[in-house]
């Protein structure tokens, strides 16, 4: 049974409710802005882990279109992408194989810092001299 | 090297497999072949033996053809504990590299032509 | 130079720990090769013909003596006693064992080095002028920009799974020594009418199987806006770059398929959107953080010296080989009484860019004593000491010469760029290094080399063009024909501010033929040049390819 991993808490959850909006990995969000009225959950896809378009789509949804609901990553993300997924604004990952949850949790903890601002308002490393 | 306990991965008969030409291109399974790969630990070229398992001496390699070559490749491919990226290379019936990738396979076997002292050729001498 | 703070150290150490775990899992069978391969590549670990190859990043080609000693120790303890300077200012080790790589990376991390993003479809090491900080007429030290980009691009969450690899180069002088026109992004530091520093921005250059000279998309980008503009370019590329065909996935193809105008408009639209967010949400660097980085690149304490060095002039009069070395291997310095010098890694009989552990340590010692502890690698596979007193040049040269590092051939016909080719590389079709060696042999006479003057020969063993053949004055591309090695010549390429892609001349030549062909081209040049002041590339520009084709065909017929 596919499960959902919460990237913020590391909790494994049932895959409910389903996403209100599924955005294809090749959709040009600038040319075709999404209708976000009433949308609470958006699913973005990595058709294979090497296809990183969803990382840009997520940031666009957060920073350009102001989406504040849940962003889910589906398709074939790998555990080593967990940290990056969270930093570009994903909240959760769909896991076809729930046994991989632990590897994703490890991925989330791989780094203590990042050099880039997170769209989630996490540490702003370029200001590390003033913040730290 | 130790003989691995393996079960063969299924090779679909019509599926293009990595054959010859350095394991990067696909080719037809025609003529005599040796199964070669890189050693997981050192990266050195290694060859599949008749008794199964790997050797670093091409003279000990199994020379096979046709369906048998594919079948042995499937055993070799299942042995990820020792090897990386096994494929079939073209050889003469006596087991010396032949065809388009002859030069490449000779260099893989012996070491860099510019550094005779660093390759396997030096270790043999 | 830049030094790691606690953040940088933690980032690199975390990465090594992560990779150590991944290697252990691969060996234990918990990771398949398919799963492990992208992970090792992201740590610069390739699998080549006979062994693994580890590519170590040398950010913008700057090293200190301790780092050189660490590289030497790795060459000695984990490799076969030598290392290799790549055509992107990095170091490569050709024989590491898989289980040793985490230890090697730990040793590198202790010396503030890493192998992060030296492979994979991410933003690679940013390269620059090897005379940065020493060259006259710089807007500012380009390494400040490079370090800003290094930090921003390291593990960038949005841009680590791009359609293809991505290379940025920075130049701060009018004369471009960083080949920015053949990079995915080229940044030229400039000043606007008000005297403020900023960047002229070029995109879509590249070599490989479809070489492109980049196009300028912005005449002036304020310095403070650099990162948001880079993010805009990368985002357009990440979203729209082709992913259906690996050979069409670089940004140069996107720029040419969209058209430079449409591409620029898309970038400017993204950039405007960043600006609309305002400083709070901007990705740009706060002035204080930029200053923190810039301070590391403050000029070293140069002595006040007269520009004329009688010691230098006297040594030149007495030692002709030294005089030749001064002529070819030293370069003007912005400070009076100083010079920059090139250490040629093109001694005859040696693979271009190879250097032994002892030589590395030797350079470290010399740099410490005579060169303000500053060392550079060049994309031409040489090394540079940027700050040496003219009074010390003779002593320095003698010490280099004693270690086999005093070749007076920089910029000459034997100073050849060559990729590793089929002697090492899994992608190569033909060998490159033996061709370089045979050309060096053919032109072994130093006087003949000096007579010919500046001539850049660049050799690639396959169409991927790591040997920069497209931008060689004479380029040589190896092609495989039914298992035999053949070589295709190009003429008139150049990688400087007048960058051009070389023109293909003639048919594929055998190894013997290509050495003769190079010699015929050189002889024809000597016969038709206006004076010994007219370099090969100037003659080519004046006359085009015809006289050289004639020379090739006349003999062949």
Rounded to whole angstroms, the Cα distance separating C414 from B81 reads 45
Question: Which of these ranges, B11-15, C481-485, C531-535, has the smallest mean pLDDT?
Answer: B11-15
Question: How many angstroms from the chain centroid is the CA of residue C321?
Answer: 28
Token pair 């408009």 is at which residue?
C265
B9 touches chain C (CB under 8 A): no
Q: Give the per-residue pLDDT at B3.
A: 47
Largest CA distance in chain A: 47
Question: How many angstroms from the chain centroid is the CA of residue A92?
Answer: 6
Q: Give the per-residue pLDDT at B5.
A: 47
* Average pLDDT value for residue range A101-130: 69
For residue C87, count CB atoms less than 10 angstroms from its CB and return exposed for 0-12, middle for 13-18, buried for 19 or more: buried
Helix axes C357-370, C393-402, angle to 10 degrees: 170
Res. A27: pLDDT tops 60:
yes
C316 phi and psi, to 5 degrees? -60, -40
Res. C166: pLDDT tops 50:
yes
Q: Give the per-residue pLDDT at A123.
A: 45
Rounded to whole angstroms, the Cα distance separating B29 from C517 reads 39
Q: Give the per-residue pLDDT at B115.
A: 86
Q: Give the per-residue pLDDT at C296.
A: 95
Rounded to whole angstroms, the Cα distance separating C404 from B125 reads 28
For A87, the 3-state DSSP assignment is: helix
Helix axes C310-318, C320-329, angle to 10 degrees: 120
Q: Give the per-residue pLDDT at B20.
A: 46
Instruction: Label residue C268 by pLDDT band (50, 70, 90).
Output: very high
Q: Please indicate whether, in this complex, the C-beta atoms of B113 and C48 are within 8 angstroms of each other.
A: no
Chain C residues interacting with chain A (CB cutoff of 8 angstroms): 5, 7, 10-11, 14-15, 18, 35, 38-39, 42, 121, 151-152, 154-162, 235, 238-240, 243, 266, 269-270, 273, 277, 281, 283, 285-286, 288-289, 292
Token pair 């650099």 is at which residue?
C226
Q: Provide the CB-side half-sphere exposure for A70 (13 A, CA).
A: 21
In tens, the pLDDT along A14-26 reads 988 899 999 999 9
Record the tokens describing residue A18, joined without a space.
Answer: 């389903």
Res. A129: pLDDT tops 90:
no
Rounded to whole angstroms, the Cα distance separating C281 from A127 reads 12
**Long-range contact list for A26-31, CB < 8 A, 24+ apart?**
A26/A53, A27/A57, A28/C239, A28/C240, A29/A57, A29/A60, A29/A61, A29/A64, A29/A65, A30/A60, A30/C239, A30/C266, A30/C269, A30/C270
Rounded to whole angstroms, the Cα distance separating C34 from C23 reads 13
Contacts of C433 in chain B (CB under 8 A): 114
C220 phi and psi, to 5 degrees? -150, 120
For B120, the 3-state DSSP assignment is: helix
Helices (H), C319-403: 320-329, 357-370, 393-402
Q: Provide the CB-side half-sphere exposure for C504 (13 A, CA).
A: 9
Residues C517 and C506: beta-carbon distance below 8 Å = yes
In tens, the pLDDT along C309-343 reads 999 999 999 999 999 999 999 999 999 999 999 99
Q: Work out the number of other CB atoms within 10 angstroms of the CB of residue A9.
A: 10
Rounded to whole angstroms, the Cα distance separating C459 from C471 reads 10
Contacts of A113 in chain C (CB under 8 A): 7, 10-11
Contacts of B40 in chain C (CB under 8 A): 26-27, 98
Res. B52: pLDDT tops 60:
yes
* Average pLDDT value for residue range B31-37: 95
Question: Which of these ranges, C6-10, C108-112, C469-473, has the smallest mean pLDDT?
Answer: C6-10
B2 phi and psi, to 5 degrees? -70, 155
Instruction: Label residue B21 by pLDDT band (50, 70, 90).
Output: very low
Res. B55: pLDDT tops 50:
yes
For C477, the 3-state DSSP assignment is: strand
* Structural element, H or E, at residue C74: helix C65-78
Share of chain A above pLDDT 90, in %: 67
Rounded to whole angstroms, the Cα distance separating C460 from C431 reads 8
In tens, the pLDDT along C396-439 reads 999 999 999 999 999 999 999 999 999 999 999 999 999 999 99
In tens, the pLDDT along C454-467 reads 999 999 999 999 99
In tens, the pLDDT along B66-77 reads 999 999 999 999
Q: Give the per-residue pLDDT at C534.
A: 97
Residues C325 and C406: beta-carbon distance below 8 Å = yes
Q: Give the per-residue pLDDT at C281.
A: 59
A56: nearest CB among C152, C238, C289? C238
Mean residue pLDDT of chain A comes to 87
Res. B12: pLDDT tops 60:
no
Q: Which residues contact B93 (CB under 8 A, 6 or more apart)?
A: B32, B63
């Amino acid at each position: 049974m596919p499960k959902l991993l919460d990237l913020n808490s590391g909790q494994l959850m049932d895959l409910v409710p389903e996403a209100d909006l599924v955005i294809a990995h090749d959709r040009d969000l600038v040319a075709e802005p999404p209708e976000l009225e009433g949308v609470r959950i958006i699913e973005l896809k990595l058709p294979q882990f090497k296809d990183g378009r969803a990382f840009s789509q997520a940031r666009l949804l957060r920073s350009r279109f102001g989406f504040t609901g849940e962003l889910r990553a589906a398709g074939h993300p790998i555990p080593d992408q967990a940290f990056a997924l969270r930093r570009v604004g994903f909240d959760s990952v769909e896991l076809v194989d729930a046994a991989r949850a632990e590897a994703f949790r490890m991925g989330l903890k791989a780094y203590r810092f990042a050099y880039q601002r997170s769209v989630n308002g996490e540490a702003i490393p370029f200001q590390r001299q003033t913040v730290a | 090297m130790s003989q691995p306990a393996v079960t063969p991965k299924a090779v679909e008969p019509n599926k293009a497999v990595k054959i010859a030409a350095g394991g990067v291109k696909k080719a037809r399974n025609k003529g005599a072949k040796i199964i070669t790969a890189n050693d997981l630990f050192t990266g050195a070229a290694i060859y599949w033996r008749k008794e199964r398992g790997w050797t670093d001496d091409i003279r000990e390699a199994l020379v096979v053809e046709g369906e048998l070559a594919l079948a042995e490749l499937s055993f070799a491919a299942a042995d990820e504990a020792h090897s990386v990226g096994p494929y079939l290379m073209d050889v003469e019936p006596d087991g010396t590299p032949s065809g388009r990738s002859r030069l490449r396979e000779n260099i893989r076997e012996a070491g860099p032509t510019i550094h005779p002292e660093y390759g396997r050729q030096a270790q043999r001498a | 130079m830049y030094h790691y703070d606690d953040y940088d150290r933690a980032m690199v150490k975390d990465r090594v720990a992560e990779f150590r775990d991944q290697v252990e899992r691969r060996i234990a069978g918990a990771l398949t090769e398919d799963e492990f391969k992208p992970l090792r590549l992201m740590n610069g670990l390739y699998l080549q013909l006979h062994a693994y190859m580890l590519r170590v990043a040398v950010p913008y080609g700057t090293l200190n003596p301790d780092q050189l000693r660490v590289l030497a120790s790795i060459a000695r303890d984990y490799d076969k006693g030598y290392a290799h300077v790549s055509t992107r200012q990095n170091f490569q080790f050709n024989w590491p064992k898989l289980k040793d790589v985490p230890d090697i990376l730990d040793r590198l991390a202790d010396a503030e080095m890493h192998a992060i993003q030296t492979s994979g479809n991410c933003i690679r090491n940013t390269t620059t002028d090897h005379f940065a900080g020493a060259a006259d007429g710089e807007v500012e030290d380009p390494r400040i920009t490079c370090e800003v980009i290094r930090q921003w691009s390291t593990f960038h969450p949005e841009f680590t799974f791009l359609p293809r690899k991505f290379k940025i180069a920075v130049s701060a002088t009018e004369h471009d020594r960083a080949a920015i026109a053949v990079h995915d992004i080229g940044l030229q530091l400039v000043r606007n009418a008000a005297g403020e520093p900023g960047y002229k921005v070029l995109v879509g250059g590249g070599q490989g199987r479809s070489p492109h000279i980049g196009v300028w998309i912005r005449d002036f980008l304020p310095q403070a806006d650099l990162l948001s503009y880079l993010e805009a370019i990368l985002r357009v590329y990440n979203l729209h770059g082709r992913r259906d065909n690996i050979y069409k996935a670089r940004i140069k193809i996107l720029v040419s398929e969209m058209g430079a105008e449409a591409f620029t408009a898309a970038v400017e639209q993204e950039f405007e959107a960043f600006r609309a967010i305002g400083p709070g949400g901007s990705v740009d660097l706060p002035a204080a953080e930029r200053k923190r980085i810039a301070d590391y690149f403050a000029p070293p304490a140069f002595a006040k010296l007269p520009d004329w060095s009688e010691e230098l002039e006297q040594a030149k009069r007495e030692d002709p080989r030294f005089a030749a070395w001064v002529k070819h291997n030293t370069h003007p310095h912005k400070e009076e009484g100083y010079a920059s010098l090139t250490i040629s890694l093109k001694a005859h009989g040696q693979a271009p860019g190879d250097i032994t552990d002892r030589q590395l340590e030797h350079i470290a010692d010399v740099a410490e004593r005579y060169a303000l502890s500053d060392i550079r690698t060049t994309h031409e596979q040489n090394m540079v000491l940027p700050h040496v007193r003219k009074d010390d040049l003779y002593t320095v040269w003698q010490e280099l010469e004693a270690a086999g590092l005093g070749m007076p051939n920089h910029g000459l016909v034997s100073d050849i760029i060559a990729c590793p080719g089929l002697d090492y590389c899994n992608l190569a079709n033909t060998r490159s290094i033996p061709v370089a060696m045979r050309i060096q042999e053919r032109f072994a006479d130093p006087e003949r080399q000096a007579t010919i003057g500046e001539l850049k020969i660049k050799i690639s063993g396959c169409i991927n063009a790591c040997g920069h053949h497209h931008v060689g004055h004479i380029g040589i591309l190896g092609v495989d024909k039914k298992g035999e090695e053949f070589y295709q010549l190009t003429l008139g390429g150049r990688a400087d501010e007048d960058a051009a892609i070389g023109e293909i001349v003639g048919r594929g030549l055998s190894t013997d033929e290509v050495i003769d062909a190079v010699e015929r081209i050189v002889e024809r040049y000597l016969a038709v040049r206006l004076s010994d002041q007219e370099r090969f590339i100037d003659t080519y520009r004046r006359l085009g390819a015809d006289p050289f084709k004639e020379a090739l065909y006349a003999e062949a017929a």
